[in-house]
Copies of this chain bind each other. A is one copy, B any other.
Amino acid sequence: MPIHTLKLKTTRRTQLVNVTQQVQQAVEKSRAASGVCYVYVPHTTAAIMINECADPDVASDLEGAFDRLIPFEGPYRHAEGNSDSHMKSVLVGASQTIFVEGGKLLLGRWQGIFFCEFDGPRDRHLQVKVISKQASFPR
């Protein structure tokens, strides 16, 4: 069960990026038929979430909701001016767990996987690992 690393570039300070297709491609590379997929963010001002991908207004509303929920102005001690970014990342979390069946992510009908940038724009990484008892699809 190797780790697949995806690269992405964000363009705004707070930005939810739909990465569902890239994660699905990593699952296909793993050739796991049935198992569990973990997606992990190795950053401290970014996170990973699962939510609606059908209407892009939802992601846009969530971006606004995060910025209203956690104020940019503290009082904060950390000198980099991104303590709010750390807080948002903690609230969403560094990993997600998704079931895999038939070689596909078993997402709900409206669900997609979103990389959550909270201190962009930046170059970012996302790690994907799949565990599975069954060996794999035939080549």
Interface residues of A (CB under 8 A from B): 1, 3, 34-36, 38, 40-44, 49-52, 55, 57-58, 60-62, 64-65, 69-70, 74-80, 83-84, 86-87, 89-99, 101, 106-111, 127, 129, 131, 133
Contact = CB atoms under 8 A, between A and B. Distances in A.
Contacts of A94: 50-51, 96, 111
Nearest to A134: B1
A105 B4 CA distance: 16
A24 to B, nearest CB: 16
Contacts of A57: 76-79
Contact of A95 (B83, B89, B97): B97
Nearest to A78: B57
**Most chain B C-beta atoms within 10 Å of own C-beta, residue among A3, A90, A106, A127:** A90
B44 A52 contact: yes
A51 B97 CA distance: 18
